[in-house]
Structure formats: structure tokens, C-alpha cells
Structure 1
Amino acid sequence: MSLPFLAADSGHDEYAADAALPHRVQDGWVRPYRPGPWRVAAAAMLLMLASYLLFAAVIMGLSGNGPGVVTTIGAAVLAIGFALRLLRVGFWVSTRGLRQVGFLYTTTLPWDRVGSVRTAQQPVKWLGLPRTVQGQALVVTRSNGQLLRPLLTDHNADFLGRTEAFDQAADAIEGWAAELGR
């Protein structure tokens, strides 16, 4: 079964830096790393909440509470939508460009508009919260000099406590940029 929100096919726990080079993908978007345990756990908790809400909707429906059923099903659908969007957050690459997917936004840059992709030491958000700590971030600069938000860090939900996985993911994205960029 194909799960498009997961990274490219790999038989290992971690991706090698060259595992997602352009010759392996025909023209689709691929995330060159797996979603991290914190991200998957948060999505699983949202899906579990949605299952409880749907069960509650069945009980309300059997008791004859129509407006409560609609409200509860609506809340369950929102929880499922949030969980699926949470799993899509991250960097995606293809032969067409680099895509940065946030929870509420998506930025797509063709490779000719990507100025540079590098790893930098800087203050980063811890699990996306307002608290910042010193860490590494993948910094993407557009060709006009503007920076993209540092979405890929060693303290986000994908790489907290997994520094080697962050290094491999950053190397893979830098490899895509070096091969397909200017």
C-alpha cells in the first residue's frame, strides 16, 4: 500500500544522503526523510481523538440528538484534517523544484529560483513552540536574497533527539539543490 505522506521507499530506518536523488523519482514530490516520532505521535493522538468523537456521534445518533451528531462529526473531520496536514509538514523535492509545506502555508520554488541551500547554526524553535534553543537549521535562500522560514531544524518534530537523521535529510536536500539547482 502506498502512503504518499511518507518518504521515498527505503529498507533502512534512516535515509542515506543520496537515497532520494532525481533519477529515482519520475516527476512526483517526495520527502527525502521520514516523519519523526513526535510528528507521528501527535497525528496519532489526533486520529485517536477523532475515533472517540465518531464513536460519540454514533451514540448521540442512537439517542436522537441530531445537532450534536453534526457538531461531533464536524469536530472529528477537523481533527482528521489536522492530523493529515501535520503529517505533510516538511520539505518536499522533485525535479521541478523545492516545496516547503507548513501547517497553514505552502511555498514552492522552482530550482532556478533557489539561490542556496545550506545548514547553519542558529537559534531554532523547539518543537515549533515559541521557546528557542541553539541548534542547526536548513537555510534556503531564494535567488533574490530572501530567506525561507527555517522549517527543517534539528529540534523540530521530525528530528528532536535524532541529529544523524537531520544531517542525512539536510545532505539529501542539499544534494538535490546541487544537482538540479544552478
Structure 2
Amino acid sequence: MSLPFSSATAPDDLAAGRPLPHLEQDRWMRPYRPGPWRVGTAAIALMLASYLLFATLIMAAARNGSGAAVCLLVAVLVIAATLRLLRVGVWVSGKGLRQTGFFSTVTVPWRKVGSVRTAQQPVKVLGLPRTVQGQALIITRKGGEPLRPQLTDHNADFLGRVEAFDIAADTIEGWAAELR
């Protein structure tokens, strides 16, 4: 008898063609973990938001309503920006490929994805204007129009972790090869 949290699967599940929980492809998922630069930046921003919320509490206790409202508004904006920063990246599902940036999101169904490949090219370091030679995951639509390189070996998820970039790029290329 297997436990509900056990990773072992019954052979009849495979034979019946039922999807296994780890094979569920209808959910949007990021095939890699956020990197230390992204998580560290988010942690510092959330710490700033906690100080702003504490300042809001002090101003409200001192009956300074306008100052408390401004601090609260800035804290909410910092929290919203931090949550959006943590969502940035490439997401995959059985429906397609989603490239989430800080201000925009592009979703391409698998039938419209032309190619997914890794290429050597100049890439930005941590999204700043400075560029260096590095690797980027190039996603091209069937019409020949490439998406902006979101996944590079010098972005906030993979700076200093080249092996993790290779694994993530291979995983996304595998999804594309399987579902195109």
C-alpha cells in the first residue's frame, strides 16, 4: 500500500494512460529556480517594504495621516514590484511558452514556436546596459521573428551558475522539441 505522498506509482496508472502528477503539463511552470541575485534583490526590497510599513504605523500613531498614506502607498508599490520581479523568466506548459518580463508578457503557443536554441552573443549583465559575450536562449516564432532574449547566462537567475543555465536551456529546448 502506497502512501498519498509517496512518489511510487502503481503500474496500472501507467498502463491506463492516466497522467501522473509530475507529468501534468497544463500548468505554467518555470523549469528552473530563481537565482540568488533575483532572490537577494527581492529579499532586500521586502525588507525595505517592512521598514516602510513600520514607518506607516509610527506615522499613524502620531496622527500624521498624509505621511502614513504616502508610506503605505510606497510600501505597496515596493511589494508589487518585488512580486513582479520574482515572476520574470521563461515559463512553459502544454499550451506554449511564456516569456515574462518586468513590464510585459509574451505567450507563444507551441504550434507557433519556430525554434528554440542556445547561441553565443552579446548579453546584458543583470539587465544593465553593459554587455559581455555570453549565451542566450533564442526563441524564434514560425514567422522568423525572434523574441527578446530573456534567458541568458548573465541574468539574475544564472550569473555565476553556467551549469544551471545549461540545464534550464536544455529543459526548455526539450519541451519545445516534444510539444512543437
TM-score interval for Structure 1 and Structure 2 normalised by the shorter chain:
0.7 to 0.9
Q: 1:126 corresponds to which residue? A: 125
Partners of 2:77 and 2:90 in 1: CA distance = 24
Partners of 1:123 and 1:90 in 2: CA distance = 19
Q: 1:174 corresponds to which residue? A: 173
Query: How far apart are 1:25 and its partner, in Å?
Result: 2.2
Normalising by structure 1, what TM-score? 0.86
Which shows bigger deviation, 25-34 or 58-67?
25-34
Query: How far apart are 1:23 and its partner, in Å?
Result: 6.4
> How many corresponding residue pairs?
160
Q: 1:90 corresponds to which residue? A: 89
Partners of 1:153 and 1:111 in 2: CA distance = 21
Query: How far apart are 1:49 and its partner, in Å?
Result: 0.4
Partners of 1:23 and 1:145 in 2: CA distance = 33
Bigger relative CO (Cα 8 Å, ≥ 6 apart): 1
Task: Give identity over the alignment, percent.
Answer: 70
Alignment deviations for residues 108-166 of structure 1 (CA, whole Å, 9 cap, x no partner): 00001100000000000000000000000000000000010001000000000000000
Partners of 2:73 and 2:42 in 1: CA distance = 18
Q: 2:152 corresponds to which residue? A: 153
Kindly report structure 1 stretches of 4+ aligned residues shifted beyond 3 Å: none
Alignment deviations for residues 162-181 of structure 1 (CA, whole Å, 9 cap, x no partner): 00000000000000000001
- Which AA in structure 2 matches 1:31? R
Query: How far apart are 1:24 and its partner, in Å?
Result: 1.7
Partners of 1:23 and 1:138 in 2: CA distance = 25
Partners of 1:149 and 1:88 in 2: CA distance = 17
- Which AA in structure 2 matches 1:50? A
- Which AA in structure 1 matches 2:93? S
Q: Which runs of 5+ in 1 are unaligned?
A: 1-21
Q: 2:52 corresponds to which residue? A: 53
- Which AA in structure 1 matches 2:111? D
Partner SS state of residue 43, structure 1: helix
Normalising by structure 2, what TM-score? 0.87
Q: Which runs of 5+ in 2 are unaligned?
A: 1-20
Aligned-residue RMSD, C-alpha: 1.1
Q: 2:9 corresponds to which residue? A: none
Q: 1:72 corresponds to which residue? A: 71
Q: 1:140 corresponds to which residue? A: 139
